[in-house]
């Protein structure tokens, strides 16, 4: 029976990067393969009701359990598309002495910039080799849930409530619960195992939306561009410059929301800007959406030759809004 660390190291090597441009669920074949492996492992552990849906949500139940209220555990299998996820090579830094950790490509993890690392002095820290993500978010959660299933299957005498587990795809691109079947899951209350210090339980998170901009300009030869050229890049840059700098992630802390321009690409003819919006308060998120729409109007007025489109989509809601009405958890 593999231990938790061994299980995580094995899972980390699977490429499960999600892809926002894909129209399938899961959005990438790597997630489908990994979910199939987890399904087979759950069956071999003796879990019941193991089912992998066509859209990539995997369900199972732990045999036994006492009590009338089933409890759920959930983790997502995908990793962020913002950094490479293929060819992950985990490295163990045992008995870490508090010094900076140096990886390939000049990557340095410096505790002076990551104060939380200090709590792990003398422990084993796991990193990638510096070329890729490690994928702790959320392969660690997957490994923990699988380890719980293994432990309870090997020792039925351990008391536990009726326990349901689920693994979802595409959380990193905001689609994690799009195809989640609550009826099949079988638990009305659940914990998501997804990061944070040991022993911490978070009862709130942000309300979340994505904002995708497209700027379509008019390209002509620069030698005869006067009064004709409409530069989409200038329009996109103006949109970013109109955002409130004090409300970006690098300037927000705690429960302060933010507007995050994540990527900008294109040329004079067409440019694309990807953003996410986060706010603990639902009304606050709506105000952020309204502000972006106002910025879009201002950019259109400043660049009349550029077509500006803004697609805002809700991703997930703050569970604290529900928990404030029902504190049974």
Quote the DSSP letter at residue 277: E
3-state secondary structure of 173: helix
Please tell me the distance from the alpha carbon of residue 263 to that of residue 231, in angstroms, as a whole number: 18
Quote the DSSP letter at residue 246: G
Residue 38 near residue 58 (C-beta atoms within 8 A): yes
Which member of 78, 170, 194, 279 is catalytic? Answer: 78
Q: Could you please report the per-residue DSSP string of 106-127? A: G-EE-TTT-GGGGGGTTS-EEE
Q: Which residues contact 158 (CB under 8 A, 6 or more apart)?
A: 151, 152
Residue 90 near residue 13 (C-beta atoms within 8 A): yes
Residue 116 phi, psi (nearest 5): -65, -20
- Give the total residue count for the chain: 329
Tell me whether residue 155 is one of the annotated catalytic residues: no
Structure tokens of 301? 């007025």
Burial 29-61 (b: 16+ CB within 10 A, else e): ebbbebbeebbebbeebebeebebeebbbbbbb
Which member of 19, 138, 170, 171 is catalytic? Answer: 171
Tell me whether residue 55 is one of the annotated catalytic residues: no
List, by residue number, the catalytic residues: 78, 171
């Amino acid at each position: 029976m593999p231990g938790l660390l061994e299980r995580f190291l094995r899972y980390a090597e699977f490429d499960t990067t999600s892809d926002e441009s894909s129209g399938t669920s899961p959005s990438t074949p790597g997630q489908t393969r990994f979910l199939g492996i987890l399904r087979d492992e759950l069956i071999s552990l003796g879990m019941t009701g193991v089912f992998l849906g066509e859209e990539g949500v995997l369900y199972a139940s732990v045999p036994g359990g006492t009590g009338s209220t089933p409890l759920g555990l959930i983790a997502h299998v995908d990793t962020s598309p913002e950094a490479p996820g293929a060819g992950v090579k985990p490295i163990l830094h045992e008995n870490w002495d508090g010094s900076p950790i140096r990886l390939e490509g000049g990557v340095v993890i410096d505790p002076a910039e990551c104060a939380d690392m200090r709590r792990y002095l003398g422990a084993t820290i796991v990193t990638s080799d510096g070329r890729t993500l490690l994928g702790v978010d959320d392969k660690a959660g997957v490994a923990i849930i699988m380890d719980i299933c293994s432990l309870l299957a090997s020792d039925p005498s351990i008391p536990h409530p009726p326990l349901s587990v689920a693994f979802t795809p595409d959380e990193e691109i905001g689609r994690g619960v799009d195809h989640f079947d609550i009826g099949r899951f079988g638990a009305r209350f659940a914990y998501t195992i997804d990061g944070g210090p040991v022993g911490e339980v978070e009862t709130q998170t942000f309300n979340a939306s994505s904002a995708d901009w497209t700027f379509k300009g008019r390209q002509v030869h620069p030698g005869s561009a006067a009064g004709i050229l409409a530069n989409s890049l200038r329009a996109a840059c103006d949109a970013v410059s109109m955002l409130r700098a004090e409300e970006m992630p690098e300037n927000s802390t705690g429960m302060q929301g933010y507007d995050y321009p994540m990527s900008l690409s294109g040329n004079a003819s067409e440019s694309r800007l990807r953003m996410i919006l986060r706010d603990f308060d639902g009304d606050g998120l709506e105000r952020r959406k309204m502000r972006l729409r106002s910025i879009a109007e201002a950019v259109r007025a400043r660049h009349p030759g550029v077509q500006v489109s803004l697609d805002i989509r809700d991703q997930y809601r703050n569970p604290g809004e529900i928990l404030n009405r029902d504190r049974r958890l």
